[in-house]
Amino acid sequence: MRIVRKIPLMQGLIKSEKKQGKSIGFVPTMGYFHQGHFSLMAKARKDCDIAVVSIFVNPIQFGAQEDCQRYPKDLVRDKNLAKKAGVDYLFVPQKEEMYPEGFAAYGEVKGYSETLCGLYRPGHFRGVVTVLLKLFNIVQPDKVYFGWKDVQQLIIIKKMAADLNIPLKVVGLPTIREKDGLALSSRNSYLSPEARKSATVLYQALKRMKNLVNSGIIEAKKVLTEGKKIINSEPSVKLQYLAAVQAEDLTPVKKIKPGTLIAGAVFVDGTRLIDNLII
């Protein structure tokens, strides 16, 4: 595995791989790897000739009060794990090269970015779209791999690729969970043992909501009220939002049906966690 820090070098290496007819699979990440990341890497490894993984904690997708500065990092550990996962290139750009002085071009997917997480993190998806456009232009992947855990990101990137005719395939893969259902996240490392225990309440609420729908209760309002009750029963957990939306375009639904996305965000001891289920 080769570690690449400079953008022109990464572009040069990709160019020579492509000249040899190699297909490129790409997994963009913010590092501090866990099984969720490895499932994406394994798929890229299996599908494509060359597997590229990036680690970049993208400052422009974090709000002023958010955790950009303290986002967990362990490059030595990540390097070893990426190597074991069969990654060919680990791309670790520096923020000064990604956003040099005078940087002024941003990407947006209107309508999809102002709902769910975007409502509470203004500018977040503009930052995500911008960095991914940059990374796609650098890595020129044939396929890119995203987790369903960050479902809004996945749907936005699919829409961006379709609307802007970006010649790549966006692949979404299932959320990897702990035994008790908690979705794996680098941010779980912030949780104290007590907070870790209460953090499963979001998944429990989503599961209960799914069961309600399967038992015939399909009014979104009723189902959401039940989900909120479960989350609010855990005193150390603060609900940010719980919503039922159409998976295609993230618009709210009144009646839940197969294909509806139920998604939420909570704060556990100050740590923001998200999760979702598809009915």
The verdict on 190 binding ligand AMP (CB under 6 A) reads no
Closer residue to ligand AMP, CB minimum distance, 40 or 201: 40
Site for ligand AMP in 158-177 (CB under 6 A): 175-176
Q: How far apart are CA 111 and CA 156, in angstroms?
A: 10
| Residue nearest ligand AMP (C-beta atom) | 147
Report the residue from 13, 14, 17, 36 that binds ligand AMP according to the rule CB under 6 A.
36
Residue 37 catalytic? yes
Question: What are the b/e assignments for 196-208, b being 16+ CB within 10 Å?
Answer: bebbbbbbbbbbe
A 10 A CB-CB count for 101 gives 5
The verdict on 130 binding ligand AMP (CB under 6 A) reads no
Instruction: Report the DSSP pairing between strands 89-91 and 50-55.
Output: parallel
Q: Name, in order, each residue with C-beta under 8 angstroms of 191's C-beta and a sequence gap of 6 or more.
A: 199, 268, 269, 271
Report the residue from 149, 159, 196, 272 that binds ligand AMP according to the rule CB under 6 A.
149
Q: How far is the CB of 150 from ligand AMP (least distance, A)?
A: 4
Closer residue to ligand AMP, CB minimum distance, 17 or 78: 78
Residue with tokens 């709000």: 63
The verdict on 157 binding ligand AMP (CB under 6 A) reads no
The verdict on 61 binding ligand AMP (CB under 6 A) reads no
- What share of residues in the chain are helix, strand, coil (percent, to 5)? 40, 20, 35
The verdict on 124 binding ligand AMP (CB under 6 A) reads no
Q: How far is the CB of 59 from ligand AMP (least distance, A)?
A: 13
Q: How far apart are CA 242 and CA 234, in angstroms?
A: 15
**Residue among 264, 150, 276, 269 nearest 198 (CA):** 269
List residues binding ligand AMP (CB under 6 A). Answer: 29-30, 36-37, 39-40, 146-147, 149-150, 175-176, 183-186
Report, as residue numbers or ranges, the catalytic residues: 37
